[in-house]
Amino acid sequence: MEPTQFLEAQFEPDLVAQIKANSSPKTFKANDVIMDIGLPVQFMPIILKGAIKILQEDDEGEELLLYFLEKGETCAMTLQCCLGNAKSQIRAIAEVDTDVLMVPVKFMDEWAAKYSSWRKFVFESYHERFVEMMQAIDSIAFQNLDDRLSNYLLEKRKLHENDIVQITHQEIAYDLHSSRVVVSRLLKKLENRGDIKLHRNSIDLSNL
DNA sequence: CCATTAAGATACT
DNA sequence: AGTATCTTAATGG
């Protein structure tokens, strides 16, 4: 299937042509840093394949996982950067091997004025990310780590399209803002329940 | 072998 | 739930 097929499904033919003519396809390997905090935002990525992890950094330099972006989605932070300050507030890391269309930000204004489907796309992106961030806040404030870990693992399995996820307890701890020992404890609990199987550097999620 | 590092264990806050 | 510390196990030279 054409990776850009979803463009035709939601944008005017005219706009699809504009997008194709003015954006460059780019490929990232898993764990590549696509955008970093403080860097100028020159492109808006539209994801064709794969997934991107978006995170913030707190005052101590600790990372905070905001959300994952998937196929057909774009980063609302980029949109915001087009309106005012051009520096990125976030770090974006390829979660798996990922293909994106890099759209130069200079087209944002023009397309928003000209194409209603683009305005809709931008608004909906904002809305989706807003909802995701609300959920991220909610889960940190009110959910126990137990549930957050389970949700995190389910998300991983979906994004990687694989029951066996390559990850260390330490990396999970960073993403969930917890410590390695605590994550190990909770993972062991899940294993004893038969939900997962633990290995060095990987976790088998086929029974989760 | 040995060095490195992920993960397990224990004890304390 | 989190920190500190020690032990054990896997991995790669």
Instruction: State which nucleotides on strand B lie below 7 Å from a protein beta carbon.
Output: 6-11
Residue A56 CA and nucleotide C12 C1' are separated, in Å, by 34
pLDDT band at A6 (very low <50, low <70, confident <90, very high): confident
A188 is near strand B: CB distance < 7 Å: yes
The whole-number pLDDT of residue A42 equals: 87
Closest nucleotide (CA of A201 to C1')?
B6
The whole-number pLDDT of residue A84 equals: 67
Q: Is A92 exposed, middle or buried (0-12, 13-18, 19+ CB in 10 A)?
A: buried
A179 is near strand B: CB distance < 7 Å: no
More confident residue, A82 or A148: A148
A166 is near strand B: CB distance < 7 Å: no
More confident residue, A4 or A181: A181
If you average pLDDT over every residue of chain A, what do you get?
A: 90
A186 is near strand C: CB distance < 7 Å: yes
Closest nucleotide (CA of A186 to C1')?
C1
A181 is near strand B: CB distance < 7 Å: yes
Q: Tell me how far CA of residue A70 lies from CA of A3, A11, A51, A96, in angstroms.
A: 13, 18, 5, 11
d(Cα A207, Cα A197) in Å, to the nearest integer?
9
Counting DSSP H helices and E strands in chain A, the numbers are 8, 10
Closest nucleotide (CA of A199 to C1')?
B7
pLDDT band at A85 (very low <50, low <70, confident <90, very high): low
The answer, yes or no, to whether residue A53 has pLDDT greater than 90, is yes
The whole-number pLDDT of residue A79 equals: 77
pLDDT band at A138 (very low <50, low <70, confident <90, very high): confident
Strands (E), chain A: 24-28, 33-35, 43-49, 52-57, 63-69, 91-94, 98-104, 164-166, 197-199, 202-204
CA angle in degrees (0–180, nearest 5) for A169-A172-A178: 95
| C4 closest protein residue (CA to C1') | A181
CA angle in degrees (0–180, nearest 5) for A76-A37-A49: 50
Report the share of chain A in percent with pLDDT over 90.
67
| C11 closest protein residue (CA to C1') | A200
A166 is near strand C: CB distance < 7 Å: no
Look up residue A121 and give its two tokens. 């796309």
Residue A194 CA and nucleotide C3 C1' are separated, in Å, by 29
